[in-house]
Structure 1
Amino acid sequence: MALMKTPGVYVVEKNAFPNSVVEVATAVPAFVGYTEKADNKGKLLGNKPWRISSMAEFHDYFGFGPKALFAIGEAATVPGDAPSFSQGGKEYFLGQESGRYLLYNSMLLFYQNGGGPCYIVSVGTYGEAIESDRLTGGIDTLIKEQEPTMVLIPDAVLLASAEECVSVQQAALAHCGGKMKNRIAILDIWDGFKDRKDPAGDCIENFRGALGINYLDYAAAYYPWVNTTIVQDKDLSYENLSTRELLQTLLKNELAIPDPLPTIEESDPPAEKNAKSRQIQRADAIAAISSEWSDIAADEIPGHKQLLNKTLIAISPLFNTILMEIRRKLNLMPPAAAMAGIYTMVDDSRGVWKAPANVSLSSVVSPAVNISHDEQEDLNVTTQGKSINAIRSFIGEGTLVWGARTLDGNSLDWRYVNVRRTMIMLEESIKLASKAYVFENNVATTWVTIKSMIRNFLTGIWKRGGLAGASPDDAFAVFCGLGETMTPEDILEGILRVTVLVAVMRPAEFIEITFQQQMQKS
């Protein structure tokens, strides 16, 4: 109030309404991994969280995907791997030599499933070895970022051992639940493309046994991996093979190319001329596989390579089989990135309080392992409480997410993903709005204002279906005041305490329908 010294009329304005609480974003994942580059017009972005909102921006700042290079061999590079093809009684295997990075394809899968704004932390470029220390360091860079609500490390499953992968995932759990407390980690299972009865061991039991028990309510895990359609036929060619001499030999054997090649004589019948001409053309195409194209202008080389690849596809079923096998291997992906997209899509359409389950996955053909109803029992409910959400295929419905639990599956408070994420949203929104009252007088006026602000916000959430209860009083309660939440000693120490009780929505995970016969009435 102005100091009154001169006679006159003084106008005093008072605020009638408290500040409003702005709902924070709920679906902003942060991806940590390896990229082609990390550059913003000359400014390096390595180990720096960078916000993007589309794949076009990802291409601008972080480049494109790695070029996968496969080798054909007579021995499997991965123990237990099935043969890719056979010829002449011999079995051949395709093993990936380079270009094995998952972040780029994970980003494509994320946006295919409804993804939006996200953060990218590039910890290295293609050609560098995937190291657990780098991935852990990338997670640490997110400490200064307030906006991300999810943490994903797609490349962690490519580490040399399950122990290394779990160590990175433990770092993500400590970051989400121990340090920040405002985000969750979406975890993939190392070797999650294998059946639980695989001779190499049960990947689920290995994951549960190594993960520990800390901060489990700040994470969700999904099994199995999924077969996707991210990599298309147009993305592959003979250039994805390093063993081109062996490829040439296999194609010559398949197409029965004679050595030496026949010569076309004037006296040959037309049918024989055509047959010899086809053999020569096929031989030329096979020989061009190892061509350096030094006699062709640089701008014409891509066209010649594309034409050669189309020719090989047209003349050789074996070449088609090899490309199909390469595509299958590249399209086998961990599901965490797709789930981040599902979280975003469900949040935008229904709200963060809706469980991200019973939703179909886009760009996914099938789960890598078919799980039955009985097999899912141990995934969902276990004595250790480490629930793993299943991805299952249903006839006529496609591939669905069939679980909505955190890793803390035995906790009645934090069993469900949507409960944890709703509480994070409420806590962060109210926390940021309450900063306006730091250093205000710790008196009844301030207490009433804060209570009104929080009540208005929670009433809006309740009206949108985010809280359970027939009335606002059933859905939430806010307490703040001397003798209610604070003692005189608290006020002397400058502490203002507010207690908020909320009834968060929980999913109907188990629906029981009871049938019983009754007496005939007419």
Structure 2
Amino acid sequence: MATYLTPGVYIEELSTGSNSIEMVGSEVAAFLGVAPAANKHLNEAFACNNWQQFVREFTAEDSESTDLARSVYAFFCNGGSRCYVVNVGKGGSVVGDARKRTGLYCLEPIDEIAIVAAPGYTDKTTQEALKTFCENRQDVVAILDAARDAEKNIDALKQVGSEEASDAGAKPADAPAVKGLLPSGSDRGFTALYFPWVVAADPLNPLQKVATPPSGFMAGIYAKTDVHKAPANQVLNGALGLTYMLTHQEQGELNRLGVNCIRSFPTSGIRVWGARTLSSRSEWRYVNVRRLFNSVEESLAKGTLWTVFEPNERILWNSVVRNVSAFLTRLWRSGALKGATPEQAFFVKCDEETNPQEVIDAGQLIIEIGIAPVKPAEFIIFRIGQWAGATPVEPQSAA
């Protein structure tokens, strides 16, 4: 405490005990693959903030385009603003090596990543590695591409692959046909699959049209869409066509299995027409629900760091409830949570019941939180019947 000797007015700044929790960003993506200049920034997570920067860092004179380059271009065309690029080099593996810090392991120290994709890699080993990476981190979703040759046999997309489509890291175009082309699901909804591939102009050779993995387009749409909204019913900027034109019935069968379809409509263009994850559990069925929980969980973790080593008693409990409730109230007001009132949208509990003496003695503080996420209106149903019209009422004369 300060000592005052001279008469006068003194001002002291006091902590109000308010520690605001802010929503973390969810727009940064990471792409892994082979760059046009295959030896540049090899197995280094390099941040790119625009397409021109990618061209400077990952291309050389007369270098040929790759799925990675085309997907990064599609990302920026569709609303993306920042991404990390990992060039695994020719013959390199997306899965990588933990000790050498290659492939996916390059991304482990980078906290801001919320989306990850390996454009064009549809082998089982790579897609399983992407799923495991996201499930371990719990703050990233993986966008998967359907196999390039799935259009030759749509029924193969309805069966989970039981064998390798190719060796780890091999490109799908080189892979032998397998019976099942549907990736195994993530029960907690950390993966989403898109079909078919998109026909677009090659960014390094604009006069040439090429089949492009959909993951780059979708990563851009994810990046520009609020986490609580479904990244669907949006136009794919730069798309000139599709490698396969789905029928209404075909999409119905694929949608049930969690395959998000991209459709071409005569009057509204080429749009993504699905918003599901590959989870079999209804609570994690939609991409926006998974992304919302990722953002909320990370925001809470970062916004409550101040509680570590604080005295574990009622004053701390009340402060946590107040700060978390204020954060969730703002989230509810933004439309991310359903309910007419905050009480219907969420609850926060931190008291003697959640923190009995044995929990306190173990050095733990337990807060129970429940939130009610909004879910997309996937099926719009108008119930219409014939109506005979209003029958006029004849006025009755007085008797």
Amino acid at match of 1:376: Q
- Which residues of structure 1 form unaligned runs of 5+? 69-98, 158-164, 237-326
Superposed displacement of residue 517, structure 1: 3.4
Pick from 338, 342, 345 the counterpart of residue 224 of structure 2. 345
Check if 1:361 corresponds to 2:236. yes
1-side partners of 2:140 and 2:299: how far apart?
Answer: 13
Question: Does structure 1 conserve the Cα–Cα contact (< 8 Å) formed by 2:93 and 2:103?
Answer: no
1:210: how far off? 6.5
SS at match of 1:447: helix
2:129 to 159, 165, 171: 171
Query: What's the CA shift for 1:206?
Result: 5.4
Q: Name whichever structure is richer in helix by fraction.
A: 1
Write the mapping of 1:457-496 to structure 2, written as runs, cut at 5 A: 457-483=327-353, 485-496=354-365
Q: Which of 55, 59, 73 matches 1:59?
A: 55
Are 2:333 and 1:440 aligned?
no
- Larger deviation, residues 104-113 vs 398-407: 104-113
Paired residue type of 1:508? A
1:376-419 Cα deviation digits (max 9, x unpaired):
1111114xxxx1000011111111110000011x3221000000
Instruction: Give distance in 1, aligned partners of 2:206 and 2:231.
Output: 32
Query: CA-to-partner distance for each residue in 1:198-218, whole Å, 9 max, x for gaps?
Result: xxx725535566633445610
RMSD: 2.7
1:123 aligns with 2:80: no
Distance 2:203 2:43 in 1: 27
SS in structure 2 of the partner of residue 211 of structure 1: coil
* Alpha-carbon distance between aligned partners in 1 of 2:188 and 2:33, rounded to the nearest angstrom: 23
Residue 20 (structure 1) aligned with residue 16 (structure 2): no
Distance 1:360 1:65 in 2: 33
Classify the secondary structure of the residue corresponding to 2:283: coil
Q: Which residue of 2 aligns with 1:336?
A: 215
Deviation per CA, 1:491-517: give whole Å up to 9, x if none: 111110111111111000112211233
**2:156 matched residue in structure 1:** 202
TM-score by length of 1: 0.65
Q: Describe how 1:420-435 pairs up with structure 2 within 5 A.
A: 420-435=290-305
| Equivalent residue, structure 2, for 1:182 | 139
Query: Is 1:111 aligned to residue 83 of structure 2?
Result: no
Question: Aligned pair 1:156/2:26, yes or no?
Answer: no
**Could you tell me which residue of structure 1 aligns to residue 32 of structure 2?**
32
Q: Number of residues paired by the alignment?
A: 369
Aligned match of 1:514 in 380, 383, 386? 383
Structure 1: distance between partners of 2:109 and 2:158: 33
> Alpha-carbon deviation of 1:129?
3.0
- Give the residue type in structure 1 aligned to 2:44: K
Query: CA, structure 1 residues 141+235, in 2 after alignment: closer, same or farther (shift >3 Å)?
Result: same
2:315 alignment partner AA: T
Q: CA deviation at 1:65?
A: 8.7
Cα distance in 1, alignment partners of residues 133 and 60 from structure 2 = 29
Q: 1:476 corresponds to which letter in structure 2?
A: F
Name which of 191, 197, 201 aligns with 1:225.
Answer: 197
**Structure 1 CA distance, aligned partners of 2:188 and 2:149?**
19
Secondary structure of 2:233's partner?
Answer: coil
Q: CA deviation at 1:45?
A: 3.4
Provide the residue aligned with 2:169 in structure 1: none
Once residues 154 and 65 of structure 1 are traced to their aligned partners in structure 2, the CA distance between those partners, rounded to angstroms, is 23
Distance 1:442 1:64, change over 3 A: farther
Shift of 1:364: 0.6
Measure the CA separation in 2 of the matches of 1:52 and 1:132: 19
Q: Deviations over 1:146-167 (max 9, x none)?
A: 110011101424xxxxxxx111
Q: Give the residue type in structure 1 aligned to 2:199.
A: N
Aligned to 2:270: 399
Q: Which residue of 1 aligns with 2:166?
A: none
Return the TM-score normalized by structure 2. Answer: 0.84
State whether residues 49 and 142 of structure 1, in contact with CA within 8 Å, keep that contact through their aligned partners in structure 2: yes
- Partners of 2:312 and 2:151 in 1: CA distance: 59
Aligned-pair distance for 1:466?
Answer: 1.4
2:119 partner amino acid: P
Q: Any conservation in 1 of the 2:199–2:211 contact (CA below 8 Å)?
A: yes
SS of the residue 1:391 aligns to:
strand
- Structure 2 residue runs of 5 or longer lacking an equivalent are 162-179, 393-399
